[in-house]
Amino acid sequence: MSVDVKIAIIGGGLMGREIAAAIQRWPALVDHPVRPRLTAVCDINPDALEWFRDISTVETLTTDADEVFAGDADVVYIAVRHDLHEDLYTRALRAGKDLLAEKPFGIDAAAAERIVAEAGRSGAFVRVSSEMPFFPGAQAVVEYVRSGAVGRVVAVRSGFLHSSDLDVDKPINWKRQAAFCGEAGVMNDLGMHAWHVPLRLGWAPRRLTAQLSDLVQTRPGPDGARVRVDTWENAAIHADSGPADESFPLDVRVERVAPGQKNTWYLEVTGMSGGARFSTASPKTVEVFSRIDVPGVGVEQSWQSVQVGSQSVWPTVTGAIFESGFSDAILQMWAAFLAEREGLLGDRFGCATPEEALAAHRLADAARRSEDDGIRVDLPSAG
């Protein structure tokens, strides 16, 4: 029998609505041990709450987060500006709530450390939102690597690219101001997406070099006058990973100015025995590298395309032959979160942990030091 879990959302914007929609689609999951119900939504903007009125399970719509913390929700999902993370996450934990937190899990590493400490004291179940690795193609690459088919790793590439800042006349908002987004800029906004799988597979860097790009210096402010943009738009990080005697390059990129990219997550792993790669730009296709015997030619190297279907971490009623998309990845992330909360995820791929989020912050700090000082930064412990 499924366990009933009451969910509250703080932050009724884009991601809050996506999460609400995912919960409404819960019957698409097959034999999941949890049955979530969205019961409360909070946003400081009353107009943002109107969208949620048509969801029959919602009992509380409020502009006061304390009303949510005092309520009977079991789990709180919080999607707010980065500078608000520490306060709201800490208050949720002290109120006895389990938490699915948005990345980057605090505005900087110091804030993340304090949240991790509070989570430890509270004993709450806490994970961090990172939905892109739940695409079936991403999971196919992860499972290929876990199988050992890669052999000795030669190189890894991971990244998240979009072009939202390509429009230089787009008005400034909080993601383009360090006071609200954090000094790490794009690495706070997108970094967890790119680091989630490498960290999960044990590829924490030992040292790194970074190039950070300040591409758009000003944007229109509220009155139309141009104001300073003080966050990094793009970050390219080149790291040494793996054991010292089997070191390999790990290339991680997060970009808000990536011409031609809509919203692209990718992962590529190559090794001495094989390789696999996936990009959400081609969401049905995984490419696998191997040596093949070509009749009449001989043994050649080949990247072969394989089409994946709809199935990811948790089985769904959707036909395996059909396509999967962003909303499906959100559903899978929540399926993993709530199953792991019940101790029933098994060896399936799980959500990003607080420790992985903290590691991403420390890697961003190292990248900033590399950029500022023009040096390669040693990382005796990224976690």
Q: What is the pLDDT of residues 135-178, one digit of tens each?
A: 999 999 999 999 999 999 999 999 999 999 999 999 999 999 99
C-beta of residue 206 within 8 angstroms of C-beta of residue 253:
no
Q: How far apart are CA 187 and CA 182, in angstroms?
A: 9
Evaluate the CA torsion angle 253, 254, 259, 262 in order and state its sign: positive
CA atoms within 13 A on the CB side of 140: 24
Q: How far apart are CA 259 and CA 166, in angstroms?
A: 7
Virtual CA dihedral for 178, 184, 189, 190, nearest 10 degrees?
160
Q: Read off the tokens for 281.
A: 């730009």
Predicted local confidence at residue 257, as pLDDT: 97
φ, ψ (nearest 5 deg) of residue 307: -90, 130
Q: How far apart are CA 62 and CA 52, in angstroms?
A: 11
276: CB partners within 8 A, 6+ apart: 140, 141, 144, 145, 149, 150, 268, 269, 286, 287, 288, 289
Predicted local confidence at residue 244, as pLDDT: 86
Predicted local confidence at residue 381, as pLDDT: 59
For the beta carbon of residue 44, count every other beta carbon within 10 angstroms.
15
Predicted local confidence at residue 382, as pLDDT: 46
Predicted local confidence at residue 380, as pLDDT: 78
Question: Along the 383 residues of the chain, how does pLDDT read in single tens digits?
Answer: 689 999 999 999 999 999 999 999 999 999 999 999 999 999 999 999 999 999 999 999 999 999 999 999 999 999 999 999 999 999 999 999 999 999 999 999 999 999 999 999 999 999 999 999 999 999 999 999 999 999 999 999 999 999 999 999 999 999 999 999 999 999 999 999 999 999 999 999 999 999 999 999 999 999 999 999 999 999 999 999 998 889 999 999 999 999 999 999 999 999 999 999 999 999 999 999 999 999 999 999 999 999 999 999 999 999 999 999 999 999 999 999 999 999 999 999 999 999 999 999 999 999 999 999 999 999 975 44
Q: How far apart are CA 173 and CA 46, in angstroms?
A: 20
Q: How far apart are CA 47 and CA 31, in angstroms?
A: 36
20: CB partners within 8 A, 6+ apart: 9, 38, 41, 52, 55
Predicted local confidence at residue 383, as pLDDT: 43
Which amino acid appears at position 251 of this protein? D
DSSP 352: B
Q: pLDDT tens-digit profile of 319-361?
A: 999 999 999 999 999 999 999 999 999 999 999 999 999 999 9
Q: Read off the tokens for 334.
A: 């929540």
C-beta of residue 20 within 8 angstroms of C-beta of residue 39:
no
C-beta of residue 358 within 8 angstroms of C-beta of residue 109:
yes
Predicted local confidence at residue 227, as pLDDT: 95
